Structure 1
Amino acid sequence: MSLEENNNLSPFKPNDHLANERTYLAWVRTGIGIMAFGFVVVKFSLFVKQIGFVLQTQVSTPSHRYSSMIGIILVAMGTLAILFAFLQYRKTEEQLKSGHYKPTTLLTTLLTGVIFLISILLIAYLLESSL
């Protein structure tokens, strides 16, 4: 029996596992991007305050510290996205090894919902700070 025939009989196909790894790495990049955006949101309000201090002018910023809260939430969501991606990667790996793969959209749905919610918060913050 050739190697190709053996791969066709086995549930352990390299291409499936490589695709699983690529998906995991894409989720890791997404999580890092979300964390970086959260970091920028937190540091931007600090930058605005510092630039006002340097220019010795009063810079108008909302005092509710929404940017810090939203930034911290984004960093936490990026961290959770990476954690859930790892758990999904391991689950998919086990399913591929056993030959009983069952796709799920839980991670995608959860992350989309949370990012949508944070986007609404960012819009509200921007509207409040621009008035």
Structure 2
Amino acid sequence: MVNEWRRRLRLREVGDEPDYRFTLANERTFLAWIRTALSLLAGGVAVVQFLPDLGPHGLRLVLGFILVAIAAMLAGTAYRRWFRVERAMRLGQALPGTPMPLMLSVGVAAVIVVSVVLMAVA
């Protein structure tokens, strides 16, 4: 684990320095994933704490948990995605794929389904 962190800290020693515009674009993408995670977290807390008329408490907890779980997955994978893209750019490799858009889409679809159920029950 410690060696992994040391290797990541030495990213600047890998390959060639990419065009700074690509590095900054990669950073903006990372920040967008983090903003999305924070928004989902705020939504999860709001559903549970501030919408008592939305339906049974148990269903609100499920909806809030789904939102917070998606937020945790996005926040947990955003740095890894940034690192892999930065490394690929430095080595002149193809950019790696990511499951993040799929995870986000499936999670939001689950939120929509639970929201529809809550609206039908309320």
TM-score relative to the length of structure 2: 0.77
In the alignment, which residue of structure 2 is the partner of 1:31?
37
In the alignment, which residue of structure 2 is the partner of 1:17?
23
**How many residue pairs were aligned?**
107
Task: Summarize the Cα distance change of 1:123–1:100 in structure 2 as closer, same or farther, 3 Å threshold.
Answer: same
* 1:114 and 2:120 matched: no
* RMSD, matched Cα: 2.0
Distance (Å, rounded) in 2 between the aligned partners of 1:28 and 1:61: 29
- The correspondence for 1:85, drawn from 74, 78, 81, is 78
Is there any run of 5+ residues in structure 2 with no aligned partner, and where? 1-15
Alpha-carbon shift at residue 61 of structure 1 (Å): 4.9
CA deviations 1:3-57 (Å, max 9, x no partner) are xxxxxxx5621111110000000110000000000000010245x5xxxxxxxxx
SS in 2 for 1:122: helix
TM-score relative to the length of structure 1: 0.72
Q: Is the Cα–Cα contact under 8 Å of residues 32 and 78 in structure 1 kept in the other structure?
A: yes
Q: Is the Cα–Cα contact under 8 Å of residues 40 and 70 in structure 2 kept in the other structure?
A: yes
Structure number, greater radius of gyration: 1
Alpha-carbon shift at residue 116 of structure 1 (Å): 1.0
Is there any run of 5+ residues in structure 1 with no aligned partner, and where? 1-9, 49-59
In the alignment, which residue of structure 2 is the partner of 1:41?
47
Distance (Å, rounded) in 2 between the aligned partners of 1:113 and 1:69: 15
Distance (Å, rounded) in 2 between the aligned partners of 1:45 and 1:111: 23
Q: Output the amino acid matched with 1:112.
A: S
Q: Is the Cα–Cα contact under 8 Å of residues 63 and 114 in structure 2 kept in the other structure?
A: yes
